Amino acid sequence: MYAIICGQPFVFSTFKNNEIMKTTQRIFLLFSLLLIPFGIFSQTTFTVKGLCINAPVKQDVDDFIELIDKKLAPAGVNTLVLRIDYRYEYVSHPELRAQDPLSEKDVKKIVNSCRKNQIRLIPQINLLGHQSWAGQIGKLLEVYPQFDETPSISLPKEYKWPNADGLYCKSYCPQHPEVHDVVFDVVDEILNVFEADAFHAGMDEVFYIAHPDCPRCRGCDPAVLFAGEVTLIRNHLTQNGKKLWIWGDRLIDGKTTGIGLWEGSYNNTYRAIDMIPKDVIINDWHYEKAHPTPVLFAAKGFNVVACPWRNADVALNQVKMMNRFKENASDEMKPRYAGIMHTFWSDTRIFIDGMNNATEESKNDPSVQTFKELIKAW
């Protein structure tokens, strides 16, 4: 009796113990080499394998559920940050409902799909910054213009950057006595309907803070104001057992590092890194280079998630970098390198279609392609 093993004939009756052992080792090595490209023996130990994306429009909710069930869950996604902002039928503040808001029924479909697939669902509402976009005011400042940090600066009909006002996005005044009564109402409501244990407050690209036009904030230290807002939001969430997630760019010294004013801060907010609670989860986004700033956050005591966008090489380098950091870190530092979260900033319909190869344009979208490469590596 004989068999063909690894291309060689072997007669079982003549095997000796050491020959069997050597053959078994060869077979195991061969299978190991074959399986590594498929990620079976992946070295990643990330606790976060995430996607950050806009909540779908109402008519796309069912397609989004199918995306979760058939694409995201099988790809290993375990965290979904859904940018909802004011596109929900808020009961606490119906005046803040944006156009075509999602209903509670719509959201519950997403909640149930994530629960079934063991995906952590985290809602995002932009707090502090991003209260306008280009020439359009955001819903909060539209309804409550008194919260505007820079009421003297009008939005242009045709937005251009750079501009004389240094306007990227407007901010609300963090020291207005009524602003948190409103925003915490909607934060609590969205956390409840999402059945979430964490909340993403955004807080990226805050250019307007401690502005001289604001009677409450002029002359204040931007770092102290930023840290105060982060801490206030964190403390509110902690009362209800929730965690705070934020983008990390305002905590990086953009000038000293050379990272710049988008992925880092030029307006002196970066010193807030030493003023905020250590249980805030930092989403460290870098889109053109895999900057090693996760070390900065981890060394300061924060859990950090590296975030790519539309460059596959950068995304793969971030995966390698985070794995390398974990491998060489102390036992105290290892768990702080929490993982990777892809960010998608275009229409969610494009992502749905791209993941299903529905159209050439969506299939070839750089961010869709980056995500497809990323899920092979993590």
Residue 378 and residue 320 in contact, taking contact as beta carbons nearer than 8 Å:
no
- Report strand pairing: 136-137 vs 281-285: unpaired
Q: Is the pLDDT of residue 73 over 80?
A: yes
pLDDT band at 377 (very low <50, low <70, confident <90, very high): very high
CATH number of 43-377: 3.20.20.80
Query: What's the average model confidence in pLDDT over 278-284?
Result: 98
| 164 has pLDDT over 80 | yes
Helix (H) or strand (E) holding 122: strand 120-127
- Can you list the alpha helix ranges (DSSP code H) found in the chain? 17-35, 61-67, 104-116, 139-143, 179-194, 222-238, 254-257, 294-299, 312-328, 348-355, 360-363, 366-377
Q: What local confidence, expressed as pLDDT, does residue 19 receive?
A: 56
- Per-residue pLDDT tens for 305-338? 999 999 999 999 999 999 999 999 999 999 999 9
Lowest mean per-residue pLDDT among 26-35, 146-155, 230-239, 301-310: 26-35
Is the pLDDT at 357 greater than 60, yes or no? yes
Alpha-carbon distance of 123 to 239, in angstroms, equals 18
Chain segment 181-202, per-residue pLDDT in tens: 999 999 999 999 999 999 999 9
**Cα angle value 9/14/15 (rounded, 5°):** 80
pLDDT score at 1: 40
Question: What's the chain's average pLDDT?
Answer: 91
Residue 31: band (very low, low, confident or very high) from pLDDT cuts 50, 70, 90: very low
Give the tokens for residue 360: 């050439």
Q: If phi over 0 gives left and psi between -120 and 50 gives alpha, with beta otherwise, what is residue 331?
A: alpha
Residues of the chain with CATH 3.20.20.80: 43-377
Indicate the pLDDT class of residue 3, thresholds 50, 70 and 90. very low
Q: Nearest Cα to 296, choosing from 249, 235, 245, 343?
A: 249
pLDDT at position 12 is 38
For the cut 60, the answer to whether the pLDDT of residue 43 exceeds it is no
Q: Is the pLDDT of residue 373 over 80?
A: yes
Contacts of residue 292, defined as CB under 8 A and 6 or more positions apart, other chains included, come to 321, 325
